[in-house]
Structure 1
Amino acid sequence: MAAEDLPSEFDVVILGTGLAESVVAAACSRVGQRVLHLDRNSYYAANWASFTFNGLLTWIQQHHEESQPEEVQDWSSLLEEGEELIYLSYSDSTSISNLQVFCFTSEEDEGEEAQSPDPPNTTEEETAANGDEDAVKAASTDSTNEDPKDKIKEVTDGEGEGQQTADSEGVEPTADLPRPSAIQGQSEASRKKISYAQLVKEGRQFNIDLVSKLMFSRGSLVDLLIKSNVSRYAEFKNVTRILTYRHGNVEQVPCSRADVFASRQLSVVEKRKLMRFLTSCLEETEEQQAYNGRPYLEFLCDQQLGDNLEHFLLHSIAMVTEDTPTEVGLASTRHFLRCLGRYGNTPFLFPVYGLGEIPQCFCRMSAVFGGVYCLRHSVRCLLVDKDNRCKAVIDSRGQRISCSHFVVDSSYVATEQKKVTTPTRFLSRAILITDASILPSNSGQQVSMVTVPPIAAGFPVVMMVELCSSTMTCLPGTYLVHLTCQSVGSAFDDLSPVVTKMFHTPETDDQETRPSVLWCLYFNMADGLDVEVEGHNLPSNVYLCSGPDGHLGHDHAIRQAQLIFQKILPEEDFCPPAPNPEDVLYDGESLLPTGGGGGDNSGWGEKGEETKENPQTEE
């Protein structure tokens, strides 16, 4: 919608299209609020976004360019009696830093002339935009973050009939069958060398997330997708393997009952010990309580499980550090176990086409219920009355828009207006395009979550997610690898040693059997975990949303969205189910919305048996 066509009055104005803001928009629109949702970017989801390869090159180039400070305009002529102005930030210059790009593949296809930009110089920092300017500029139109109404997709079942991926029965992962175009061999002979020119040429086949997370099958995001029926707008795949890096090798972690009995890494005695321990974890006991406040590793050692099981339980199942308190480690272990068996052999789901789909799904729901969307559009300042409430906003075209509540991404708010109790923490991120899986398998279409313990003293724990082409996030014949950790130094300093150890790069010429890195990007991203919704030097009806945090799941963002909604509409239900099209009856009849949700079976039964859930509608 053009800026001049915007209505002049809304109930809720939301600035930023990150996950929390998009959920708030959907929840408010669903219960009848008039919502205006803006974003200064040309794409949805802000730092939660997914890009094509060329779109990512454009994003990198934009962050390399020094932003010119815009002239602060005087909007005092729009003030009414008793009002004052609060200006917002024009640009976000602090949430992303230390970008470094390396290209380890050839410039041209063999036997063909180059049809694409030059690859980045692998010996210099900040080299993403060294290619042909026309190709990079054209990438700005290739971002996958299009209008959410264009993102509804269908999945074909085993019989070839189209169906919605997630209907009223809950989130239904797609069948994990290799697509004909995506079947890839893993032998050295079958690994085709892919050039930088080909990456650019086929760039639209990539959907590269800025943030790397997974969806716990019993996490707050999946529960919300089911409850609200937003799950119908997306497709999901199971994460098929849990892996860990140990003694210089990548090993599969047995976590489900089936995996434990099928494992060749564990002896019969170890299998019995692991099954007994996992069963005992489900209920809290006095023995466990006696270890409260003591390290979880100490508790595991006292169970006499052995080094193998201690490593798997600490790093890959509980996913905690050695000094994590026992009560926290046990809670994480229980959560992992209860997520097993709902949709597959691991606790995790991943959205097809990338995590950037999820904010767009909630934007789609908001638009369906009347939400107004406008990209490349921002709010310049707030108009505050004498009661310290935001009465209206002034947009980037100088239009005054009245509102009752204002929700904003924290990156739009100046530092002096935010209550900051601790220095901003950062996440270190690395995105790799590789030519093979970190642990080859017969199918070649595995989605893997890998835990990498500290490779040396002073290094952080690294979480790695490896995506295959059937997730529609990378070119067939390649894998997309995301690495994330809490920052100790720059992303390159934190993560390049892990990349060097686990992948083939020019620094590891003797490791030809490992996957080769074709292209990689390092950057630091602000950790949004410490951003509070309220308590800032802002009007009482202004609420802040944070960017992505360092946790593997989405609980922090969903919790923020729910808290903001309750502040705005304390008497309303948060994201009630949207009616299915077949349930909409006309001629004066009421809507018949269907609920969502799965059964209440646990991934591990009372006796340690894994249960396979058949999702059913809950009343």
Structure 2
Amino acid sequence: MDNHFDVIVLGTGLTESITAAALSKAGFKVAHIDPNPYYGADEASLSLDELAQWVDQYKDDKTNQTVSPRPRYRFVTCCEEVPPHAKQYSVSLSPSVIPSVGPFISSLISSGVSRYGSFKLLGRVVIYDNGVVKDVPQSKDNIFQNKAMSLLEKRRLMRFLMFAGGDFESSEELQGLENSPFLDFLQKKFLLSEVTARAITYALAYCYFANEQTLPALHRIRTYLRASGRYGSSSFLVGYYGGSGEIAQGFCRASAVGGAVYILGRSVTSLMSRDPAEPEHPVLTPDPARFAIEVDDFPERLHCQCLISSTTLLPEHLRSQADIIQPTIPSCSSPQPFAIARCIAIVDGSITLPSSLDSEDSGNASDSSLLVFPPESLEGGSTKSAVHVMTAGPGTMSAPAGKGILYISMALPSDSGRSAEALLRPYLTAVLALLRAEETLSCSTFYMQELVSYAPTTTDSLMGLLAVPSLNPHLTQGVDEAAIAAEATFWKAVACLHGERKALFDQDSGFWPSLAEMEENEGDDIQW
């Protein structure tokens, strides 16, 4: 195997996979490496037995990490016994939904990766209120059919939605209040009741906390309002077979079709920057390599001009010299939580949530839905953080017939000192109570995912060394931020390589080649 590449990408997370696919499609020679034996890194989709191995790996891993530390997970309780038919489950380590309008859906379509996966509309968005669930209206008709809301409240709500769906940046209502708490803005400027304002804040803007700022929340709402109706009544799509991990694998497939080399299940044992004039380990190429990588069980070093890596896979001495990509998208400027408390629960039986009393579409049952618990909505629950419960079942090919998966997550602004189980057990109990009595809990795993953000530590970064952040854990915005980060990484890599590869890449061609061009190059006999 030729050991010289234009680009080496470390990690097969969603951002890295999109970047690798775009670079490969653009004609660059790419090698993509991941120490895990599966695609998706910390956003992977795993079977139940793979999930059990993943838990054991992070619980028991006390080996010396010579290249970089692993992401920090703290497990409390795990499935003591893997349920039957474990391979028929696709469990997401980073559950998310896809806005029907935005940078990520654009990348899916423009790259052709949408052909490698299957998607469906998110069934329902419901909010927990005083022991019952209420559907969040998804259209003007839903609002006016709602019998629990007064006519005056409906008119105020419609006025706000028209405002949020338009060009509000220079509006009189927003001036001077861009950084004010969004919940206060709704009640003071649009005179909405506390119940309606909380529903908008937590189940339409998807805020984590009560003090989140108004402007980014409005940006998110505008995106979702404009997304509604593109593919159906819901603003969101859900990926089959676990979501993000399966989609990351689709981008890796596109990269491989473009000629990229994949190395999975092999650890990077040494990673170093090289002086192009260094006589040791010469590379027979007109473009002297800037980086050299040693991979476990590979006889020769791999060399590249540009190195792109997840921040968690870079050793400290290189991370401090990397150009760390900072995604810029207005709707993603929510505060970064300290950690995410997570629960994955396997349920025997249907996971279809009961219909609210005012719902006129009770027959439209879906096992793919999103339940939101606002702060202070559950006795014994959090008073500061919203909690999201995402359901997945046979309808998304994530579980065998008669089974379901519950994903429960809570963003924490700081270290609470409490375990993930202590924080989330009341919510799991509440959700199980909402389901039919014959449902039983098959197994559950509680863990804390500590989030680490890396800021640039130097203005004198190494040429060609790019670091991408881990996927934003925000349920509705994470994939869009991944697409934004991938495009920024792509253009920086092109700038690094453009001098040597002018003949291969025309900057006017855009982020992705045309679909017609890709289809012509791929043909009809692709094997995967």
Q: 1:32 to 1:208 in 2, by over 3 A?
A: same
How far apart, CA to CA, are the structure 1 residues paired with 2:105 and 2:221?
19
1:512 to partner: Cα distance: 7.0
How far apart, CA to CA, are the structure 2 residues paired with 1:533 and 1:264?
52
Per the alignment, residue 371 of structure 2 pairs with 450
Is the 8 Å Cα contact of residues 469 and 479 (structure 1) preserved in structure 2? Answer: yes
Match status 1:341 vs 2:229? yes
Tell me the amino acid that sits aligned with residue 7 of structure 1. D
1:532 to partner: Cα distance: 5.0
How far apart, CA to CA, are the structure 2 residues paired with 1:525 and 1:408?
20
How far apart, CA to CA, are the structure 2 residues paired with 1:428 and 1:415?
27
Match status 1:295 vs 2:181? yes
Tell me the amino acid that sits aligned with residue 304 of structure 1. L
Give the number of aligned pairs: 463
How far apart, CA to CA, are the structure 1 residues paired with 2:375 and 2:290?
47
How far apart, CA to CA, are the structure 1 residues paired with 2:172 and 2:29?
52
Q: 1:43 to 1:538 in 2, by over 3 A?
A: farther
Tell me the amino acid that sits aligned with residue 325 of structure 1. Q
Q: 1:23 to 1:532 in 2, by over 3 A?
A: farther
How far apart, CA to CA, are the structure 2 residues paired with 1:52 and 1:556?
26
**Secondary structure at the residue paired with 1:377?**
coil
Which of 405, 426, 429 is the aligned partner of 1:497?
426
Which of 540, 543, 551 is the aligned partner of 2:466?
543
Report 1:221-240 matches (<5 A): 221-240=104-123
Q: 1:513 to 1:310 in 2, by over 3 A?
A: farther
Tell me the amino acid that sits aligned with residue 574 of structure 1. F
1:534 to partner: Cα distance: 8.4
Per the alignment, residue 193 of structure 2 pairs with 306
Is the 8 Å Cα contact of residues 98 and 238 (structure 2) preserved in structure 1? Answer: yes
Tell me the amino acid that sits aligned with residue 187 of structure 2. C
Which of 408, 414, 429 is the aligned partner of 2:315?
414
Per the alignment, residue 217 of structure 1 pairs with 100
TM-score (norm 2): 0.80
1:257 to partner: Cα distance: 2.0
**Secondary structure at the residue paired with 2:430?**
helix
Q: CA RMSD in A?
A: 3.1
Report 1:527-566 matches (<5 A): 527=451, 530-531=453-454, 535=458, 539-552=462-475, 553=477, 554-566=479-491
Match status 1:519 vs 2:440? no
Tell me the amino acid that sits aligned with residue 425 of structure 2. S
Tell me the amino acid that sits aligned with residue 95 of structure 2. S
Identity of aligned residues (%): 28
1:7 to partner: Cα distance: 1.7
How far apart, CA to CA, are the structure 2 residues paired with 1:527 and 1:398?
35
Which of 10, 13, 17 is the aligned partner of 1:22?
17
Is the 8 Å Cα contact of residues 417 and 537 (structure 1) preserved in structure 2? Answer: no
Per the alignment, residue 616 of structure 1 pairs with none
1:403 to partner: Cα distance: 0.9
TM-score (norm 1): 0.69
How far apart, CA to CA, are the structure 2 residues paired with 1:229 and 1:484?
31
1:312 to partner: Cα distance: 1.8
1:237 to partner: Cα distance: 0.5
Match status 1:274 vs 2:157? yes
1:563 to partner: Cα distance: 1.6
Structure with greater Cα Rg: 1
Q: 1:45 to 1:457 in 2, by over 3 A?
A: closer
Is the 8 Å Cα contact of residues 352 and 367 (structure 2) preserved in structure 1? Answer: no
Per the alignment, residue 137 of structure 1 pairs with none
How far apart, CA to CA, are the structure 1 residues paired with 2:459 and 2:67?
14
Q: 1:581 to 1:406 in 2, by over 3 A?
A: closer
How far apart, CA to CA, are the structure 1 residues paired with 2:231 and 2:185?
31
Tell me the amino acid that sits aligned with residue 521 of structure 1. T
Per the alignment, residue 107 of structure 1 pairs with none
Report 1:420-439 matches (<5 A): 425-434=338-347, 435-437=349-351, 439=353
Which of 51, 55, 60 is the aligned partner of 1:65?
60
How far apart, CA to CA, are the structure 1 residues paired with 2:299 and 2:455?
29
How far apart, CA to CA, are the structure 2 residues paired with 1:468 and 1:343?
21
Tell me the amino acid that sits aligned with residue 311 of structure 1. R
Tell me the amino acid that sits aligned with residue 543 of structure 1. L
Is the 8 Å Cα contact of residues 436 and 516 (structure 1) preserved in structure 2? Answer: no
Please list every run of 5 or more consecutive structure 2 residues that lacks an aligned counterpart in the other structure: 278-288, 325-334, 355-361, 496-505, 524-528
Please list every run of 5 or more consecutive structure 1 residues that lacks an aligned counterpart in the other structure: 1-5, 71-86, 103-119, 121-130, 132-195, 506-510, 587-619
Q: 1:352 to 1:585 in 2, by over 3 A?
A: closer
> What does the per-residue CA deviation read over 1:466-522, in whole Å, with 9 as the maximum and x for residues that have no partner?
1231100012112211112223443223222222233249xxxxx974954322111
Report 1:581-592 matches (<5 A): 583=520
Is the 8 Å Cα contact of residues 9 and 402 (structure 1) preserved in structure 2? Answer: yes
Is the 8 Å Cα contact of residues 320 and 456 (structure 2) preserved in structure 1? Answer: no
Report 1:118-267 matches (<5 A): 120=80, 131=81, 199-200=83-84, 202-267=85-150
1:25 to partner: Cα distance: 0.8
Bigger mean CA offset, 337-346 vs 449-458: 449-458
Is the 8 Å Cα contact of residues 275 and 290 (structure 2) preserved in structure 1? Answer: no
